[in-house]
Each structure stands twice: as structure tokens, then as C-alpha cells.
Chain A
Amino acid sequence: MSRLDAKKPSLCKSEPLTSERVRTTLSVLKTIVTSCYGPSGRLKQLHNGSGGYVCTTSQSSALLSHLSVTHPILKILTASVQNHVSSFSDCGLFTAILCCNLIENVQRLGLTPTSVIRLNTHLLSLCISYLKSETCGCRIPVDFSSTQILLCLVRSILTSKPACTLTRAETEHISALILRAFLLTIPENAEGHIILGKCLIVPLKGQRVIDSTVLPGILIEMSEVQLMRLLPIKKSAALKVALFCTTLSGDISDTGEGTVVLSYGVSLENAVLDQLLNLGRQLVSDHVDLVLCQKVIHPSLKQFLNMHRVIAIDRIGVTLMEPLTKMTGTQPIGSLGSISPNSYGSVKDVCTAKFGSKHFVHLTPNEATICSLLLCNRNDTAWDELKLTCQTALHVLQLTLKEPWALLGGGCTETHLAAYIRHKTHNNPESILKDDECTQTELQLIAEAFCSALESVVGSLEHDGGEILTDMKYGHLWSVQADSPCLVNWPDLLSQCGCGLYNSREELSWSFLRSTHHPFVPQTCLSHEAVGSVSNLTLDCLTAKLSGLQVAVETANLILDLSYVIEDTN
């Protein structure tokens, strides 16, 4: 055994943000994330140099978990985006791009970190309070009595992930399925505290997307041979279910810490098997119709149960245990004897089903909030992306249920917000500065950096060389295609704004987003008629965007505040 080496001294670098290497790596990360953003975002193919799994994606969660970053500053940035995504699922790329933009813009100014951080925090709280206020002109209430806005929300999420490779019809189909699955997880008679159920996503790769479907209850996958052995059940009433979490394989369970000495001829296996068969007898006499076991059931016990017309399904796995417990209302049994009668549960029906090449046992609940989403897509990578997207959409719907508001998508919220901040800092700087030590000039500089960071985020929605404009009334985003002739009438070129709320028939004036223009008051307070008349809006989740905004600014502040980086080289 050799001795441990002495610790190597760490590397210590001062003012890390000024170093060329950090700037380059930050801008590389920025190009990666910006090129993925939006419905026309470019896909990234991630694969290991030595072969294996290939991932094609444009989603931040998949992208960042596969990227391996080495520089500590990038680690902070990616970790905070990943943490945001794992708690809100959506708006990961938005957070990452905004954070990169903020760092880059503020770095250029060369102000002291103290004032930068203070002002950034002020501007952030200005944004947050505006987005939460009644007068906010870029959010709409979500009406749960109709599916229109909910569908818009889900559709916006699906279209923003091009790696799912869905056609228009497929998008419609999947949006409807996701919404249906979500509605199935809401308990019917909920009073006060609602506990949402669960939607299990069942993979079915290699099938057409249109074949995807939603079923109430749980699907347990099984081989065809096993399925043949199951007897058809002829019973109209609910089925009695016993769910075991302990093994029924006849292993000799824990014999304690001491030693066990067996006399000649004594077989413990037989003793345990006897015990199992006794258990079987008890189950039969209790009129159990269905025995489910997380682990393995001994073949003899299985046969015994089959003989008495009891269906036995084993090797269910730990992931299905919780939904099964919830759906059947059972108490998972951990004992091989004396089962208390109140630990049995029930299901409405058991039937077999075949989807594609796979066979399933389908358990239908009496009244429970568990459903299964059978998700099909052409190949593995597209399926993985679609699954992530569906999870995001379901999570966004849950968040929207808690906070029933949605933000206008398609970049309109960002441009509107930038216009609002510009106007506020220009007309009423005293209210923001209050008793701070910062000067008005500093405020103007930082506000400009902040707003242009927000605007560059939406600027990266455009990947095909088109132009981005903003109108001077609502502060919404309008995009023009690249090959359009110049010097024509704007209303002819622009059909509708990014979120689809306004069209160009209205008398509006436009200007290029990147050009400097006078601060103007974007119209606040959305009218209900305007929202009601449009059927196809692009929407974003309010909760996720708010948190994304906060995390982006907080992380940028954190990185701008760094004076030293100490790297442990051991």
C-alpha cells in the first residue's frame, strides 16, 4: 500500500470574467443555446466519441445534461439552468440565453459590480411586480371551463420542440391527448385540497404518432406466452386485489445474526413452500381475484392460484407500486401469513390489450386519478424527445392549475416587457433609485443592457436571417422573412405578431428591434374581447417564465460578483 500523495496546491485566478478563455467559452455556450431556441431552432446531435447512444435534441434539459462543462463559471450557469428546469420543466433555454446576454452586456459597460447588482435586482423586481400586476398587458387569464387556452398552451410547447418531428396533424393529436391525460389526473370530487393523480407514460417505439392514446388505469407489460396463461375473468362486480411488496419466491428470509444449524433431513425450502401454499389458501378463501407481486411469485404458488381461478402477476417492479397502491386502494402486504382483510383493494376490470407488438394487462380503476399515456413515435431519439416534451407539457398544465395565468408567447412578452422597463426607467427613475447610491446615468446604462438582453433572447427566435420588428403601440414582436423585398408597405409583409393576438390590419407603426427608438408606453390591460376572438395563440407558462427570469438575473449577478476562482486540481 502506498502513501497518499500530498495535496497539490490549487489554481487561483483573479477577475475571471476578464480572461479571454472565459469569454470564449461563455460565447460558445451562448451560440449553442441560442441556436436551439424556438420552433425553428436548430437541432443538436450529442453522442459519445466511442459510440453508443445518440441524442438529437433542442431542449435545454437534454442538452445540458449531456454536455460536460469544465470551467467552474460555466458549471454555475448550467447547474442553475438545470435546477430551474428540473423544478419547472419549461423556459430552460430562455433562462440560459438571458443569463449569457446579461453577463455579456454588463461586462461591456465596465461599471462596478456593486451598482450593477443592485440595479439588476431593482429591474428584476420591477419586471416581476409588473408581470404579477392586474395592469400587465402581456398575460391572459386561463379559463379551465373551456379547452381553448389550455390547448394553445400545450400546442405552443409542442411546436417549440422541433426534434419531436411532428406534423401539424400529429401535433393536434398529441396536444389533445396530453390535455385529456391531464384532466384524467384531476380527482372528480375534490374539496379544498386537491391531490393530483399521476400520468404514466408507456413507451411504444416504432409506431405512428397518430396511434398514441390515453387510457384510464394502468398498463402492465407482459410477454405473449404469459398472457395466454391468464384465464379470462367472468365477473361483473369489482375484482378484489392483493398487492404484495415482499417476495413470494420461497427464499428463506432473514435468519438473524446468529447461526442456524439444521438437523439431517430438514428442508427449509419445503417449510417455506408450505407457508406459501397456506398463504395461497388464505387468499382463495378471502375471495381474492387478482394477486399482484412486486417481486417474484413461486411457480407452485402461481399454479395453485391459477387452479383456483385467481390471476397472479409478478415482477411488477418498484415504479408501479405507488400508482398501483393508489389506484386499487390496497395496503402493500409485507407478510406471508395472517393478512388483515382491510388490506385488500379493488379494480373495476382486468383485460388484455395489444398495442403494436406489445401485450399488456390493462387494469381499469373504479374511480382513480391514474392514467396511462401510450406514446408512439418513429424512432428512439424522436420518442425520447417527445416523452420529455409531454412531461414538460403535463407539468406546465399542473403549474397553470396552481396559478391560472398564461403569458403571451412567441417573444411578445419579452419585447413588451423591455418596452415597459425602458419607459419606466426613462420617465420615473427616482422611484427606482430611491435612496440608493447609484446615479441616473448608471441606471440608464444598466436598464439598456437589461432590455437589450431581453430583446436579444427573442432575437434568437429567428434563425433564417429574417428581421425582427416591434410595434410602437403594444410592444409586440413581428417577424419578416429574409427574402422579402425592402421598402414596401409593412402591413403587407407582416400578417400577425409573434403570439398571434394582433394582426397588421390595425394601424400600427413598426421599427426594427435592434435600432434605437424612443421609449414609449406599451399598452397595458389586455381587453377580454381581443383575447376571446383569437383561436390560435402562442402562450407560455407564467410560473416557469417568472422563475426563469429570476434565476437568470440571480445567476448573472452571482457570476458578475466573482472576484477570484480557486480551482482544486487534485
Chain B
Amino acid sequence: MLSSMAAAGSVTAALQVTEVLEAIVSCCVGPEGRQVLCTKPTGEVLLSRNGGRLLEALHLEHPIARMIVDCVSSHLKKTGDGAKTFIIYLCHLLRGLHSITEKEKDSLMCENIQTYGRHWKNCCQWKFISQALLTFQTQVLDGIMDQYLSRHFLSIFSSAKEKTLCRSSLELLLEAYFCGRVGRNNHKFISQLMCDYFFKCTTCKSGTDVFELVDDCFVELNVGVTGLPVSDSRIIAGLVLQKDFSRYCPADGDIRMVIVTETIQPLFSASGSEFILNSEAQFQTSQFWIMEKTKAIMKHLCSQNVTLLLSSVRQPDLVIYYAGVNGISVVECLSSEEISLIQRIIGLSPFVPLHALSQCEISNTALVKFCKPLILRSRRYVHLGLISTCTFIPHCIVLCGPVQGLIKQHEDALHGAFKMLRQLFKDLDLNYVTQANDQSDTASLFICKNSGESYKVPDARNGSIQKPYPDTVIENKDELEKTQTYLKAYSNLAISDVELETYIPYSIPKLTPADTFQTDETLRCLSLEKNRLIGDYEALLKSSSTAYSTRGNNRIEICYENLQVTNITGKGGLLPVSFKLQNMGTSQSYLSSSVPAGCVLPVGGNFEILLHYYLLNYAKKCHQSEETVVSIIANALLGIPKVLYKSKTGKDSFPHMYIRAVHALQTNEPIVSSQAGLESVTGKCQLLTSVLQCLTKILTIDLVITVKRHPQKVHSQDSEDEL
């Protein structure tokens, strides 16, 4: 017998659930967030501010809650960030939807639906809204991002082409990241640790593959030590294996190592075979043969100057003994992850013992800088100085803390930071639709804009980036002075003068064609107009619409604490434009563009407020039904800065901040952020998409049916089916 129970799957129910979740996660958000203590059924105690982990630990029962948690975890799998923001945003969206249904019940309904029951009416309406949401997410959102928001983006890279990072900007990014992840007295220390680790592990040639490696193997790259204060955490060069030597022989000079994945001692009988013993002497001879063979292999290794043997399996006593006799150190029982990490770093394939004797020289050995025991709080580890053959320079993080739970939190946060960086170094594709038949100014303007840009942007970019360095200096001697005095004005910032001076060469090319300095009272941002582009644009723009003339300075470079803003607006480049030109006659045009790697915005709800502002502007041009949906989305975005500014009072409180920001946007001035720190744009975009998809999912459900089944019965049913 199946007994079932049904409950209306309504926005109200979902709202109730998310409000509870919001209450929990919002206390861990942002720099003011606090810790949550989770216990596991095993009795382990874990400290966490990680939204995903908290939601998981709650073991929620409510079906809608479970669905939300599923959505969050699939989002986390992709990006590793933003679980708390997800919940807060979803909650505000649901709140917005809930409140409009109270006001305008019938505005979206067709007449014939009124014959159905009230619940079904609602459901139909939700279906309608969910479709509107989906359309918005797939067709409009990316466009807004590309056409309006992108001009505010900053780039984390000090040189966009080579994707190089300077320390100060990475510090800003990481500090903001760890603010929301670890205890407030430790976030500075942990972000410094991560910064050090990043610069120690990477070379100028390193690319995203380093992040991939660290992300994949992070467990093997850190060692937790309990009982010491957090401030004792440090980075050590080389790789630390969480094993002790089975035999340690101190060696000087060249240390060569081999990796084995099987026992070196030949087996008495191979698997699947039968060994027939006819006499005792035969047994003794074969034992003797095994012994001699083992001895010979170890001697051979020794003659090839091998002094270290890493093994993924346990080696017999005999092997260990002969290793000791020949001065070879042995580490046994390494996990497959450890072996694969070593192989990735040094590109060494395992050594096959039985083939070894036939060759006179062993090819798969690798040189090691050092190999010694490392004692951390009375536990012994193996410390290897691997010589890397890839762009990753091996270093390990030793994480200290009074309790395991805290160390785990720091480990998770560091791992998450690498996931975030990995995402940041990738471009994010944006695809959207412009409605040409809308006859709105926007659409036609974009066409003009893009066609103009497709010719102008490439050479403009080349002009600013590829300009040889000496030329720039000669051209801009007077500007150089200006730059320096200008940069001196920054001295109230946390960056030291020495650092400033080293970055001046980078900032010069950006400042070269300076026409006007926009004078804002903080002197934080500097935007420049580009003559060559403007010339073409203004002709086009003035003819089409005067409303957009202010947006002419479409190639802006802003100096934000040594950050460079690259031109992102027209990044659509040549391909989509040519495609577009072909489609000029049709009603809809599909555009694709991307958020380039390394795009960041200042923290503290900047992204949300910007998007909110532009969405509201967009909503004004929409049909009434669409307008409601867009403005709900826009208003819900403000939920996040509201939480972040909860504890602030007076001039720093949320309403003040919001008014200042909107005013700045209207007058086309740069927004001044009260907090230093940066966050990735890519992560935010992906988060927004995930939340909207989750909401769409919730809205399409009209009925939740709880099925209570008897476990045994189901089991027997299953087995019958099988029969």
C-alpha cells in the first residue's frame, strides 16, 4: 500500500523554508560574519562559515529545502563559492514574488483559467513567471552584463595579455575572500599565507594549470598540526609526505629517486599459477634465488646512484634490509594520490623491478634536491625537495591550530580560494538576444556601436598594449611626472612607496593619451577618454540618440590601486559582429561575448548595486509583465548589500551608501567603495544564473507529494522485479 500526502508547492512554502536558511547563513556572511559549530555523527567537531557545508550539515527534511540544497551544491561543484549569497538572493527573490501576488492577483492571468480552482490559477501564474524568468536569464541577463556592467569591471592582471598578477591586487582579492570564510582574527594571516604560497609556487610562466594542479591535489599539499597557535602556520619548500621513512639513510650530494608500484622482491608464485615443489632443495634454491634477485636489484639501484625509493605498496622486510645495506632510504604505502601528484610534478614514470636488471641504465629516475625527515610536533614526516618539470614549484602549507576543526576550516578556505582563482583565470561566455523589432534606441544603437568597434577596437588595443616601452617614456616625459605626483596622492593607501614605484612603468602606457583627468574628490579613480575612438563614435551617437552621448567614453582605463581596467565593452570582437551583420534584416539577433578572465569589482555589494541600477533602467523599457519580473530581480539583488551593511551606522549605513552609489551612476562618476578588496565577477555571474535556474525550478512545481513506503515491502518488490 502506498500512502501519500500532498502539499501545495507554493511560493509561500518555499519562502518559509528559505527564510529559515537565510537566518542561519546571513550570520556568517561578510567580514562581520560569525562561526558555526557543526558536529558529525562520529563526534568530530567542525568549525565552519562555509555555506555549502552548513546546508549539508543541517540534513534538511523538507522537500523544497532539499531541492534548494541540491541546487546550491551543484552550483558549488562548478564554482566553489557563493552558497550563502545564493540563499540570501533566493530568499529575496521569493519575498518579492510573494509580495506582488498579494497586490496584483489577476494581472498575468488569462480569462479561461478563471474556471479552475484558486490553487491552479496560482500555479499557472507561477508557470508564466517562471518562463519569463527563464527568458530573462537566457536572453537578457548576459546582455545587460555585457553592454552596461562591463564598463565598470576592473582587471586583476597587471598585464592583461600575459595574465600576470601583482601582489597588492591579489592581496585585495584574497583578503575579501577570506573575510567571509575564516574567523575574523585569522583572515588577514590566512590571506597572507595564501598570497605567499601563490607567489612561491608559481613562476611568471605559470598559467591556469598550476591552479588545476593545486585544486586537484590540495589535500596532499597541506599538513595539519594541532596544538599550536594558528600563527605558527607556514609554508615550506618541497613536498611533505604524511608518512615516515621505513628506512632512512642520510645521503649527501645528488639524490636520485625511483617510484615503484609493486613489490621489488619477486613473488614465490605468481597469481593464477601453480608451483609444484618436488624436493626440499628445490624450495631452498628458489628462496635463495629470490633473495639473490632482490639483492641484485637493490645493488643495481645503488650503482645507479639511487638513494630514495618511494613505494605505493608495502615492501617485504628483505627489500627494506637490502635498501638499508645499500644506503637507500625507503618510504612505503604512499597513497595513489600522492604518487600521482609526484608524477605530475616531476613527470616520472614508475620503475619496473623485473625489467631493471636487463637494462644497464635505469631511465626513470629523478633528481631530488633533498630528502630528510621532518618533525612537526613529535610526528615524523618525509620532506622531499622535488625538482619540478612543470610550472608548479612544489611547496607545502603547514596549517597549525588549537583544534582539528579550525585547521579543517582553514584548509577548506584555502582550497576554495584556489577554486575561485581557477575560475577567475577563465573567460566566461555571455550569450544574449537583442530585439531589433523593438524599435528601441538601444538595439539600433548597439548595431552602430558594434559595427564601429569592429574596425576600431583591435588597433586601439594594439596601440595601448603593444606599444614598445621606450617610446612611451619619450613621449610622455611630462606625463610621467604627473603620474608620479598623482600616485603620491595614494600614499594613504596600504601600498608602500617602493611598490608604487615598481608599478609605475606599467601604468605609464595606460596614461599616455590622457586628455582630461576626471577630478573626483577621492582621487581614487581616473578615467580617460580616447580621442581616436571618440571621434568616430560621437558622429554615430549624436545622429542616433542624444541620450547616450554621455556614454561615449567607451574605452575607459581606471587606475584603482594599481589595477588596470581593460576595455571590455567591445570585446565581442570581430566574429559576432560579422555574424550580426548578416542577420541585420531579421527581427532577432543573437550575440555572444564574454567576461574576460580576471575581471573583478570592489567588494561590498558593488556588483549587486550596479546590476540593480541597470536592470531598473532596462525594466523601464519593457512591457508591463516583463517589467515586474525584472524589477523583482533587480530589487532582490539589494538583499546582499543590505546584509553586508547591517552593522554599519550613520554615513556608512546601507541607505546612505545606496543613494551615493546611484547618484554616482546617474552623474556618470565612479562609485567610491568604502571597503578595500575585490571580488570575482565571473563567480557572481554564475551565481546569478544558478539562482534564477533554481527559482524557475521551484516555480514550476505545483504539488509536493510525500510518499511513505515501507522499506521491506519495497525491497521485496524490487527483487520480484528482478526475477
Contacts and interface: CB of A to CB of B under 8 A. Distances in A.
A and B form one complex: yes
Interface of A: 2-3, 7-10, 12, 14, 16, 72-73, 75-76, 79-80, 83-88, 112-114, 117-118, 120-121, 245-246, 254-263, 266-268, 270-271, 274-275, 331-338, 340, 342-343, 547, 550-551, 554-555, 557-558, 561-570
B451 to A, nearest CB: 52
A266 B229 contact: no
Interface centre among B184, B288, B321 (most CB of A within 10 A): B321
Q: Which 9 pairs show the lowest CB-CB distances between chains A and B?
A: A334-B317, A258-B269, A257-B271, A83-B227, A334-B321, A80-B402, A256-B267, A87-B227, A563-B34
A331 B61 contact: no
Contact of B277 (A72, A84, A113, A266): A266
B270 interface: yes
B275 A79 contact: no
A262 B278 CA distance: 6
21 contacts: A2-B715, A76-B47, A76-B405, A83-B403, A84-B402, A87-B228, A117-B184, A117-B185, A118-B185, A257-B267, A260-B268, A261-B277, A266-B279, A271-B281, A336-B291, A340-B325, A554-B229, A555-B403, A557-B183, A561-B184, A567-B39
B328 to A, nearest CB: 12
A110 B57 CA distance: 29
A267 B280 contact: yes
A80 B47 CA distance: 13
Interface of B: 23-24, 27-28, 32, 34-41, 43, 45, 47, 54, 57-61, 183-185, 226-231, 267-281, 283-284, 287-288, 291-292, 295, 316-322, 324-325, 377-378, 401-406, 647, 711-712, 714-715
A221 B43 CA distance: 40
A172 B483 CA distance: 75
A267 B277 CA distance: 10
A88 B184 CA distance: 27
Contacts of A268: 277, 280, 283
B512 to A, nearest CB: 36
A157 B231 CA distance: 28
A3 B229 contact: no
Given A9-B61, A254-B268, A566-B36, A260 B277 contact: yes
Contacts of A266: 277-280, 283
A394 B647 CA distance: 51
Contacts, number: 232
Given A246-B321, A338-B292, A562-B35, 11 more contacts: A7-B59, A72-B39, A79-B403, A257-B271, A259-B269, A334-B321, A335-B321, A335-B322, A551-B227, A563-B28, A568-B38
A255 B58 contact: no
B275 A261 contact: yes
A118 B184 contact: yes
A46 to B, nearest CB: 19
A260 B711 contact: no
A76 B58 contact: no
B712 A334 contact: no
Given A83-B227, A255-B268, A331-B325, A568 B406 contact: no
B284 A274 contact: yes
Given A83-B402, A254-B316, A568-B39, A88 B227 contact: yes
A566 B183 contact: no
B274 A261 contact: yes
Contacts of A121: 185
Nearest to A77: B403
Contact of A10 (B58, B227, B231, B267): B58
B278 A16 contact: no
A173 B135 CA distance: 86
A566 B57 contact: yes
A102 to B, nearest CB: 13
Contact of A259 (B38, B183, B275): B275
B227 A86 contact: yes
A263 B274 contact: no
Interface centre among A9, A83, A245, A564 (most CB of B within 10 A): A564
A9 B268 CA distance: 54
Contacts of B320: 334
B280 A331 contact: no
A339 to B, nearest CB: 9
Contacts of B405: 76, 79
A246 B265 CA distance: 15
Contacts of B275: 255-256, 258-261
Contacts of B273: 258-259
A7 B59 CA distance: 7
A112 B61 CA distance: 33
